[in-house]
Amino acid sequence: MTQPCRHCGAPLEIPFVDLGFAPPSNAYLDPADLSRPEVTYPLRVLACGTCRLVQTEDFAEADALFSDDYAYFSSTSQSWLDHAARYAAMITERLGLGADSHVIEVASNDGYLLRNFVEAGIPCLGVEPTEGTADAARALGIPVEQAFFGEALAKTLEPADLIAGNNVFAHVPDINDFTAGLRTALKPDGVVTLEFPHLLRLVAEAQFDTIYHEHFSYLSLFAVERILGAEGLRVFDVETLDTHGGSLRIYACDAGAAHADGPSVAAMRATEAEAGIDTDAFYAAFQSRADAIKDGVLRFLLDARAEGARVAGYGAAAKGNTLLNYAGIRPDLLSFVCDAAPSKIGRLLPGSHIPIRAPSALREDRPDYILILPWNLTREIRAQLADLEAAGTRFVTAIPSLQVLE
């Protein structure tokens, strides 16, 4: 039976990529878990020929992916904290937010963004389904509604002047209900901003490792305008961002609101059209490019082992788990991965079962190479580990192709 599109209901008949079977990318293991079965799901992605929404096949439920022990804490990355602070300052000035305003962040995680509004005295509310991150936000004085966001919940919330959603629109299985919730929770002249990795960059740079079960959708402006428009929302501005390997930030409002359309929207429509995003051919060659990357990283690790060189990883990130599991990489090829998040240290990566150690392990047990798994943070990670590079350790990235950095 052909799965219908999550948005428009058309049959999904355009294959995009098949990455085999993998566990949820944030389902980190404790050593005791190795004596129990590990659940994996197919990781296949298809494109809708009608609305061009690229999406995973439905196998895993959201509550299985975003459990109370969900281990992703946004505040672990200083560059992401800086990005959030810049956004908060910009949008506060642009919208004239103040003590009489109300800001809602959907998927507020550990308070990485809303802390800026709290410090500015702007009333705000976080909506976050996972307990550990919600508790971390509350500890910062941020009110949090612990729930999945949708239209029913939105009806219970105080309408907002601003609804922010950073890297959440791709994470929702019922994207239509989520979008209806945005419209419902918004004041008549309010603004929604959504940030999400841009499908155009994903394809151009073969970023297949950004595909994992928690990402139900892979988004273009073409698809997002149709999804929002079906619920009476209009995109009036769009910005390109460097975050997460290349993202869009869209600004949307009620279709009848006074916000004037900026030239950026027409410009991005033209850019996507020129790339062929509304053609089947745009989606056709992605599988072979993912396979080439997989082969390249495997070849590097096998050669390093044959030469007696030791390779460790840095960043126990979801994207790294996709790469490692698709390539079948295990501790014999990548001895350990380091991460600064206390919630991950001492645990094991899902699927590959590679141990996660504190960053100090790189200095105690210095490897010859460090494979940077969250390649979008390469500059930040190299700066943090500059002493190792000075001592002779070399850094490696795998996307869009295997590269030993100079």
Please give the Cα distance from 173 to 60 (Å, whole number): 10
Closest to 172 (Cα-Cα) out of 262, 316, 66: 66
**Predicted local distance difference test score (pLDDT) of residue 3:** 87
Backbone CA torsion sign across 136, 140, 145, 148: negative
Predicted confidence (pLDDT) per residue in 14-44, tens digit:
999 999 999 998 899 999 999 999 999 999 9
Q: DSSP alpha helices (H): ranges in 333-401?
A: 361-364, 378-384, 386-390
| 108 pLDDT above the threshold of 60 | yes
**Predicted local distance difference test score (pLDDT) of residue 397:** 97
| 396 pLDDT above the threshold of 80 | yes
In the block, which residue shows the tokens 């918004």? 186
**How large is the average pLDDT for residues 161-165?**
98
Quote the percentage of the chain above a pLDDT of 90: 87
| Average pLDDT over the chain, rounded to an integer | 93
pLDDT tier, 302 (very low <50, low <70, confident <90, very high otherwise): very high
- Calculate ∠ Cα 376-378-382, nearest 5°: 165
Q: What are phi and psi of 21, to 5 degrees?
A: -110, 140
| 360 pLDDT above the threshold of 60 | yes
Please give the Cα distance from 193 to 173 (Å, whole number): 19
Tokens describing residue 42: 């197919």
pLDDT tier, 74 (very low <50, low <70, confident <90, very high otherwise): low
Strand pairing partners for 106?
127
For each of the domains in the chain, give its residue range(s) and CATH number, in order of start: 12-62 (no CATH), 74-283 (3.40.50.150), 287-404 (3.40.50.720)
| 199 pLDDT above the threshold of 50 | yes
**Predicted local distance difference test score (pLDDT) of residue 67:** 47
Entry pTM: 0.89
**How large is the average pLDDT for residues 106-134?**
95
The bridge status of strand 356-357 relative to strand 247-254 is unpaired
Structure letter (DSSP) for residue 358: -
| 317 pLDDT above the threshold of 90 | no
Tokens describing residue 228: 């929002």
Quote the percentage of the chain above a pLDDT of 70: 95
2 CB-contact burial (10 Å; exposed 0-12 / middle 13-18 / buried 19+): exposed
**How large is the average pLDDT for residues 359-388?**
95
Output the furthest CA–CA distance in the chain (Å, rounded).
65
| 77 pLDDT above the threshold of 90 | no
